[in-house]
Amino acid sequence: MRPMNAILNMLKSRRISAGVALAAAIIIFLAVNIAANSLIRTARVDLTQEGLFTLSDGTRNILAGLDEPVTLRLYYSESLAASYPALRSIAERVRDTLTEIESAGGGNIVFEMIDPEPFSEDEDKAATLGIQGQPTQDGEVIYFGLVGTNAVDGREVIPFFTAEREAYLEYDLVSMIHRLSGKRRPVLGIVTNLPLDTGPGGLTAALQGLSQPYVIYEYLQQVFDPTFLEQDFDRVPENVDALLIAHTRALNDRTLYAIDQFVMRGGRVIAVVDPVSEISRAASETGDPLSGATFSSDMPRLFASWGVSYKVNEVVADRTRAMRVQAGSDLRRLEVDYVPWLAMLPDDFDVSDIAMANVGSINFATAGHFTPVDGATTRFAPLVASTTQAMVIDSAELMMAPDPDGLLARFLPTGQRYVLAARLSGPVRTAFPDGAPPPAPPAEGQPAPLPLPDHLTETADANIIVIADSDIFDDRFWVQVGRQGGQRVAQAFAGNGDFLVGAIENMLGSNDLISLRARSVSSRPFTAVDDLRKAAETRFLAEEQRLQAKLEATAARIQQLQQISGGDSAVLTPEQQAEVERFRAELAATRGELREVQRNLRRDVENLGSSLAFINIALVPLLLVVAAVVLAILRNRRRMRSAQVH
């Protein structure tokens, strides 16, 4: 009996110990959760590849540089939003981000959250401050916006946080704080023949109150103080910090001299030219190009001085980076690659240049290219370059109605990389060694112009960025614009805005906002899928073109025989009649072959998609299940061997 009692006592002791351990574990678990909730509520681990949920160094630098407090009041109808999970999810991220910003603000950020209940003073105040309420199906109104104020009555408002802007959250919040910080925004002088501030429709639409600026201009307004300069001036105003020359008409010598001397005095310049400007060819309300539009642009005199060459009649085409377009009127036809429209990826960027380090992608359309001039004093650093699967096309071929299939058929890559954007730095000599051109005589009754500043012949520290495409400004190529809740919402699918604004900021020595804006686009193209699709298209395109040529030749022969008969089949000899019938049968058979080729192409692409879907949806989970079963079998066998040994 004693051994049995000992065993029972041992089991009892183990049960008590297990119960005590379990109770202790529960107590520790609750204690850790309570402590974490009160002490480290905002702590979290960010496992995303781009660190989307961690405040960037740029944000921390801006917050550390605040000289006066900024108050951020979040108006959020929390109780009414309980029935909307998507809205609650966005609100949670907004609240967490604002809490982190307040924590990193060193006392200069005050964050308040207000729930504007229906028919309350808070609701009236929210509406008065510019917060836009969104009606629900229950007849209620939900508020979800932010009001930022500083110590001198400055105010900035985000009327309503939308899902489309969630990826831009940190940038939107920190840009608001930056604008409220009281620091002077850099003045950006803009010389352009593009309707950046009025959008498509130009001045006519603006006079009718129908204009909407291009989104990229709104980007510029958020960071800089843009001021337009007429395309005819003799000096750049002294308050201009940087100059954006964007696809101008041919500038006269006195305007070119003003730009030249701005560079000689250390001014920063972004020069944008284009061999074929798609944005300038955008139709107005009448269906015609805008009056005074410039279809191509160049600045040969300044480019020669800056040590760069640009051919206005050459457009870069790239098979690897080509965008997809609908070809022709056949609705059954798949989209095809249009080689002059390019979707450039980080592999095409010089990521060692801070202006390009975090740009996700840039879309170009009928872009030109630059090369350094032999013996130039400047350093030529490519920022964006094509792949080696590229060639140049004469711009005249693209001015009317280009043929995507024809361009693909004639595509012969040169193996050369063509530079679409570059940075020029270092010593530059003036393009006007003989001094300023003669001044224009003043108009009758107008005073004589003020004397020009002293003529400078060189600078040792030029900083110029040249871009060979004006279509980076065009909304169609990089952003989808819509309306939600009464406000204009822009959802970027490429980083054109990030590239331009970040490059200007970098030239002005302000890089803090670059990292924020670069996180807004997270496009991850399926490059392996694209490569397979391109190979399939190349294979079938050759067969399609052969059949198309055969089809045209057969139709021409039938037409020739019909012309001989004058439309009367009785005039034809029996042999000719038989030939017509044979050609008609061949025509029908060729059309059938052509349809089969197109079906094969569609089938290959669809099969590829189905295979990828199977791999992602079924194969990976199936492999995990198999692995789990194998591990279970091995573990069971190990357990059985252990039992046999004992």
Cite the beta strand spans of 220-280 per DSSP E: 225-228, 242-246, 268-272
Residue 523 has pLDDT above 80, yes or no: no
Residue 514 has pLDDT above 60, yes or no: no
> Residue 212: its pLDDT value, please?
84
Residue 288 has pLDDT above 80, yes or no: no
> Tell me, what DSSP letter sits at residue 498?
H
Choose the weakest-confidence range: 22-26, 282-286, 333-337. Answer: 282-286
> Residue 521: its pLDDT value, please?
45
Asked if 406 contacts 339 with a C-beta cutoff of 8 angstroms, the reply is: no
| pLDDT tens-digit series, residues 413-469 | 999 999 999 999 999 999 999 999 988 777 777 787 788 999 999 998 899 999 999
Q: Rounded mean pLDDT of 36-65?
A: 67
Residue 43 has pLDDT above 80, yes or no: no
> Residue 37: its pLDDT value, please?
54
Token pair recorded at residue 200: 């498509």
Q: How far is it, in rounded angstroms, from Cα 366 to Cα 281? A: 12
Per-position DSSP letters for 564-628, written without gaps between them? HHTT-GGGS-HHHHHHHHHHHHHHHHHHHHHHHHHHHHHHHHHHHHHHHHHIIIIIHHHHHHHHH
| pLDDT tens-digit series, residues 154-174 | 888 999 998 877 777 888 898
Q: How far is it, in rounded angstroms, from Cα 529 to Cα 605? A: 9
302 vs 444 pLDDT, higher one: 302
> Residue 601: its pLDDT value, please?
61
Residue 517 has pLDDT above 60, yes or no: no
The CATH number of the domain covering residues in 184-434+453-525 = 3.40.50
| pLDDT tens-digit series, residues 135-144 | 888 788 999 9
Measure the CA angle with vertex 159, ends 157 and 162; round to 5°.
Answer: 125
Asked if 211 contacts 249 with a C-beta cutoff of 8 angstroms, the reply is: no
Per-position DSSP letters for 264-308, written without gaps between them? HTT-EEEEE-BSS-TTTT-B-TTSSBPTT--S-B--HHHHHHHTE
Asked if 467 contacts 190 with a C-beta cutoff of 8 angstroms, the reply is: no
Place of tokens 């109780």: 79
Token pair recorded at residue 634: 């091995």
| pLDDT tens-digit series, residues 196-243 | 988 876 666 656 666 789 999 998 988 889 999 999 999 999 999 999
Four-residue CA torsion sign, 308, 314, 320, 322: positive
> Residue 522: its pLDDT value, please?
42
Buried b / exposed e along 383-399 (16+ C-beta atoms within 10 A): bbbbbebbbbbebeebe
Partners of residue 188 on adjacent β-strands: 226, 242
> Residue 214: its pLDDT value, please?
92
> Residue 419: its pLDDT value, please?
98
543 vs 325 pLDDT, higher one: 325
Residue 34 has pLDDT above 80, yes or no: no
Q: How far is it, in rounded angstroms, from Cα 495 to Cα 215? A: 12
Choose the weakest-confidence range: 1-15, 312-326, 551-565. Answer: 1-15
Domain regions of the chain by residue span: 1-41, 57-165, 184-434+453-525, 530-612
Choose the weakest-confidence range: 30-44, 278-292, 305-319, 543-557. Answer: 30-44
With residue 126 as reference, give the H or E element that holds it. helix 121-129
> Residue 392: its pLDDT value, please?
97
Q: How far is it, in rounded angstroms, from Cα 258 to Cα 188? A: 16
Residue 330 has pLDDT above 70, yes or no: no
pLDDT band at 505 (very low <50, low <70, confident <90, very high): confident
Classify the phi-psi angles of 600: left when phi > 0, otherwise alpha if psi is within -120 to 50, otherwise beta. Answer: alpha
Partners of residue 479 on adjacent β-strands: 492
Residue 537 has pLDDT above 70, yes or no: no
279 vs 607 pLDDT, higher one: 279
615 vs 404 pLDDT, higher one: 404
Residue 606 has pLDDT above 90, yes or no: no
| pLDDT tens-digit series, residues 76-97 | 999 888 888 888 989 999 999 9
> Residue 48: its pLDDT value, please?
53
Token pair recorded at residue 114: 């207000």
Q: What is the rounded radius of gyration, in angstroms, for the C-alpha atoms of the chain?
A: 33
Q: Where are the alpha helices (DSSP H) in 410-461?
A: none
What percent of the chain is predicted at pLDDT more than 90? 38
CATH class of 57-165: alpha beta
Token pair recorded at residue 44: 């979290």
Q: Rounded mean pLDDT of 607-626?
A: 69
The number of angstroms, rounded, from the C-alpha of 481 to the middle of its chain's C-alpha atoms is: 13
Token pair recorded at residue 191: 């010389």
Q: Rounded mean pLDDT of 630-645?
A: 76
Report which listed range, 65-69, 189-193, 435-439, is most confident: 189-193
Q: What is the pTM of this model?
A: 0.66
Average pLDDT over all residues of the chain: 81
Classify the phi-psi angles of 201: left when phi > 0, otherwise alpha if psi is within -120 to 50, otherwise beta. Answer: left
407 vs 536 pLDDT, higher one: 407
Report which listed range, 196-200, 361-365, 490-494, is most confident: 361-365
**Which three-class secondary structure string do you get for 314-335?**
EEEEECCCEEEECCCCCCCCCC
Place of tokens 């008969």: 565
Residue 568 has pLDDT above 70, yes or no: no
Residue 312 has pLDDT above 90, yes or no: yes
pLDDT band at 512 (very low <50, low <70, confident <90, very high): low
Q: How far is it, in rounded angstroms, from Cα 426 to Cα 514? A: 24
